[in-house]
Amino acid sequence: MKVIFPDNSVREYSDGTTALEIAKSISERLAKEVIAAKVNEELVDLNKKLDGEVSLRLIKTDDPEGLEVLRHTAAHVMAQAVLRLYPDTKLAIGPAIDNGFYYDFDLPESLKPEDLEKIEAEMAKIIAADFPVERYEMPKQEALDYFRSKGEKYKIELVEGLEDGNISFYKQGEFTDLCRGPHLPSTGRLKAFKLMSIAGAYWRGDSSREMLQRIYGTAFPSKKALDEYLFKLEEAKKRDHRKLGRELDLYDLLDEGPGFPFFMPKGMVLRNILEDYWRQEHRKRGYQEIKTPIILNEELWHRSGHWDHYQENMYFTKIDEGNFAVKPMNCPGGMLVYKRKLHSYKDLPQRMAELGLVHRHELSGALHGLMRVRCFTQDDAHIFMTPDQIKDEVLGVIELIDDFYKVFGFNYHVELSTRPEKSMGTEEQWETATKALQEALNARNMDYRINEGDGAFYGPKIDFHLEDSIGRTWQCGTIQLDFQMPERFDLTYVGSDGEKHRPVMIHRVVFGSIERFIAILTEHYAGAFPTWLAPVQVKLLPISEAQHPRVLEIEKQLEDQGIRVELDLRNEKIGYKIREAQLQKIPYMLVIGEREVETGTVAVRSRKDGDLGTMQLNELIERILNQVKAHQ
Contact partners, residue 569, CB within 8 Å, separation at least 6: 542, 545, 548, 551
Q: Are 71 and 218 in contact (CB under 8 A)?
A: yes
Q: What are the C-alpha distances in Å from 43 to residues 35, 71, 169, 427, 517?
A: 11, 14, 16, 31, 38
Exposure of 130 in the CB half-sphere (CA atoms within 13 A): 2
Determine contact, residues 172/134, Cβ cutoff 8 Å. yes
Given the residues 360, 501, 524, 539, the one annotated as active site: 360
- Do you find a cis peptide bond into 387, omega within 30 degrees of 0? no
DSSP three-state, residue 252: strand
Active site residue 380: yes
Select which of 179, 331, 375, 476 is catalytic: 331
Yes or no: say if 464 and 401 are a contact pair by the CB < 8 Å rule. yes
Q: Which of 80, 350, 378, 429 is catalytic?
A: 378
The 10 Å Cβ neighbour count of residue 97 is: 13
Tell me the HSE value of 53 on the side-chain side, using a 13 A CA sphere.
Answer: 4
45, 380, 468, 482: the catalytic one is: 380
List alpha helices for 8-101, DSSP H.
19-26, 28-33, 64-85
Q: Is the preceding peptide bond at 182 cis, omega within 30 degrees of 0?
A: yes
Residue 66 CB partners (closer than 8 Å, separation 6+)? 35, 36, 59, 60, 221
- φ, ψ at 271 (rounded to 5°): -60, -45
User: Are 334 and 352 in contact, with CB atoms under 8 Å apart?
Assistant: yes
Whether residue 343 lies in the annotated active site: no
Kindly name the residue from 90, 194, 327, 461 that is annotated as catalytic: 461
Residue 360 known to be catalytic: yes
Whether 309 is a known active-site residue: answer no
179 is catalytic: no
Catalytic one among 241, 282, 306, 382? 382
AA letter at 565 = V
45 classed as catalytic:
no
Query: Annotated catalytic residue: which of 90, 507, 539, 564?
Result: 507
Please confirm, yes or no, whether 378 is among the known catalytic residues. yes
- Known catalytic residues are 331, 360, 378, 380, 382, 461, 507
